[in-house]
Amino acid sequence: MELQQIGKYIAAKRKAEGLTQEALAQLLGVTNKAVSKWENGKCLPDLSHYEALCEILHISVNELMAGKDIEETELKKVSEQSLKEVLRSNADLSAMKHICIGLLLLLVGRCLPLVQLQDAASEASQFIFGVSEGMSIGITCIGIGWLIMGLVKFSK
C-alpha cells in the first residue's frame, strides 16, 4: 500500500464529487484534519470508515487500497495483490507483538530481583528470595523465547 498514492486518489475522488475536506469529514463523522492526513498520505482512514468513504466517493474498497481506478480486466490481479499486502502487514504486526511481549517479559524478569526483601536473615525471607529469583530466571527465559520468535517471524 502506497499511502501517498491512496491519499492523492482520495483527494481526486473527493474533488470529483464536488466535496470539500470539511464536507467529507462531516459525512464520515471525522475532523477535516483527519481527511487532510489521509490525503497527504500520513495515514489511512480507520477501517470503520472504509465502507462509507467508498460509498461517498463511488469507488470500491479495492480501488481505495490500490489508490487508482481499476478496470474490470485487472480486478482479480489487483484484488490478489491487495490481499497479499494486507496479509504481509498482519504478519508484521504479529511479529512486532511477539517482540514487544518478549521485551516486556525481559524487563519484568530482570526487575523482579530488585524488589526483594531487604531483611533476608529469616528462613521465610530466604525462601521467598529463592522463589522470586527462580521466577525471574523463568520469566527472562520466556521473554527471550518470545523475542526470538518475533524476530524470526519479522525476518521472513
Is-contact 64 53, C-beta < 8 A? yes
Look at residue 117 in the predicted model and tell me its pLDDT: 56
Q: In this structure, what C-alpha cell is assigned to residue 14?
A: 473527493
Look at residue 118 in the predicted model and tell me its pLDDT: 59
Residue pointed to by grid coordinates 526483601: 117
Residue 138 scores a pLDDT above 80 = yes
DSSP sequence for 90-152: HHHHHHHHHHHHHHHHHHHHHHGGGG--S---SHHHHHHHHHHHHHHHHHHHHHHHHHHHHHH
Q: Please write the tens of the pLDDT for every residue from 34-72.
A: 999 999 999 999 989 999 999 999 999 989 988 999 988
Highest mean pLDDT among 9-13, 107-111, 120-124, 149-153: 9-13
Q: Please write the tens of the pLDDT for every residue from 12-39.
A: 999 999 999 999 999 999 999 999 999 9
Q: Please write the tens of the pLDDT for every residue from 72-117.
A: 888 888 888 888 888 888 888 999 999 999 999 988 888 877 766 5
Is-contact 29 36, C-beta < 8 A? no
- Angle between helical axes of 3-16 and 50-57 (0-180°, round to 10): 50
Look at residue 76 in the predicted model and tell me its pLDDT: 85
